[in-house]
Amino acid sequence: MSSAHPKVYLISGASRGIGYALIEQISQRPNHIVYAAARDPTNAVALNKLAELRPGAVKVVKLVAGSEEDAKLIMAQVRSAEGHLDVVLAVSGVALWQHYAPVKDCTNESIMEHFNTNLIGTVSLYRNAYPLLKAAPRGAIFMPMSSTMASITKAGEYAFPLCGLSMSKASINMLVRNIHLESEEEGFIVFPMDPGWTQTDNGNGNAKACGMSEAPTKLEDTIAGVLKVLDAAKRETHGGVFLNYRGEVMPW
Ligand SMILES: NC(=O)c1ccc[n+]([C@@H]2O[C@H](COP(=O)([O-])OP(=O)(O)OC[C@H]3O[C@@H](n4cnc5c(N)ncnc54)[C@H](OP(=O)(O)O)[C@@H]3O)[C@@H](O)[C@H]2O)c1
């Protein structure tokens, strides 16, 4: 890649877990710039340290999922500094394992919390990023984090009734199909990613709620897999396809 054209990423959920680990890896690559979007940048200690270590490669920005104001400020900053976005990864999300309940017992508040962060946060990020993705060379990527629990085909294979999570992640999959079909002219590469049951606060919290000591998938394996998929992504092969971190096609 020519030094005149850095590859520009925007990644949400940057403070910890999968989002932080992706930023840590991507920002090591020469000529890559990552806008690292955290809900509360002042308390994102590790992220701020990384930005200090890699000035120019990691730029910390604020994004509360679904905040139009935050998203607009980020896009204005990216537009004036870079002019485009090559890759947007919508990683921020919640899985409120404290709310495990079958549908007959789950609350509207719990369902809305999952939908607000997981779905509305992702829609808002895409809508605001659209002009900058369009301004990129053809083949800009938008990849939201989905989950095995989004798969209607696989429902019943997991033991826990986390209806707010599964419904909100299934809605992300439909969102992605819509964006894929709408963006043929723009040539966007849009697909949902199942990162596997990964050793993060989220994944380990779920594992403990199921009586396990930790989640089965190492964070480094998830990150290596997700990056391999991203690096190979083409609209013809990946666009509108539900993929996991091993690059396998997941059933809807
Ligand atoms: N780990 C797994 O096993 C697994 C499996 C399937 C899918 N996923 C998905 O992968 C993504 C990353 O998960 P993870 O395991 O890395 O989770 P994590 O360690 O719990 O990190 C979640 C991230 O999302 C951010 N976030 C949560 N609510 C937010 C809000 N309202 N506004 C802005 N940011 C918010 C958190 O910010 P704060 O630090 O400010 O809270 C944090 O950066 C999520 O979308 C998750 O659903 C994970």
Q: Which ligand 1 atom is nearest residue 118's CA?
A: 45
Q: What token pair was written down for 251? A: 């059933």
Nearest CA to ligand 1 atom 6: 147
Number of C-beta neighbours around residue 205 at 10 A: 15
Q: Is residue 99 part of a domain?
A: yes
Nearest CA to ligand 1 atom 24: 92
Q: Is residue 249 part of a domain?
A: no
Please give the model's pTM, rounded to 2 decimal places. 0.97
Is the minimum distance from the CB of 207 to ligand 1 under 6 angstroms? no
Q: Is residue 252 part of a domain?
A: no
Q: What is the pLDDT along the chain (252 residues), one digit of tens a residue?
A: 445 689 999 999 999 999 999 999 999 999 999 999 999 999 999 999 999 999 999 999 999 999 999 999 999 999 999 999 999 999 999 998 878 888 999 999 999 999 999 999 999 999 999 999 999 999 999 999 999 999 999 998 877 788 899 999 999 999 999 999 999 999 999 999 999 999 999 999 989 988 899 999 999 999 999 999 999 999 999 999 999 999 999 999
Ligand 1: centre distance to CA 13 (Å): 6
Domain that holds residue 200: 7-244
Q: Is residue 80 part of a domain?
A: yes
Q: Scan for tokens 């020469």, then name that residue.
A: 30
Of 16, 89, 246, which is best to mutate to test ligand 1, by the most ligand atoms within 8 angstroms of its C-beta?
16
Q: Which ligand 1 atom is nearest residue 197's CA?
A: 3
Is the minimum distance from the CB of 195 to ligand 1 under 6 angstroms? yes
Q: Is residue 1 part of a domain?
A: no
Quote the CA–CA distance of 241 and 252 in Å, as a whole number.
9
Dihedral, CA atoms, 18, 20, 21, 23, nearest 10 degrees? 120
Quote the CA–CA distance of 103 and 80 in Å, as a whole number.
46
Quote the CA–CA distance of 209 and 163 in Å, as a whole number.
15
Collapse the DSSP code of 176 into the 3-class scheme (helix H, G, I; strand E, B; otherwise coil) and give the result. Answer: helix
The count of domains in the chain is 1
Is the minimum distance from the CB of 93 to ligand 1 under 6 angstroms? yes
Q: Is residue 2 part of a domain?
A: no
Contact 84, 227 (CB under 8 A): no
Nearest CA to ligand 1 atom 1: 203
Q: In what order do the strands lie in the sheet with 7-12?
A: 58-62, 32-38, 7-12, 87-90, 141-144, 189-190
Q: Is residue 236 part of a domain?
A: yes
Contacts of 35 (CB under 8 A, 6+ apart): 8, 9, 10, 11, 59, 61, 74, 77, 78, 85
Q: Which ligand 1 atom is nearest residue 148's CA?
A: 6
Contact 111, 167 (CB under 8 A): yes
For residue 202, give the CATH number of its domain. 3.40.50.720
Nearest CA to ligand 1 atom 36: 13
Contact 125, 88 (CB under 8 A): yes
The number of CA neighbours under 13 Å toward the Cβ of 107 is 6
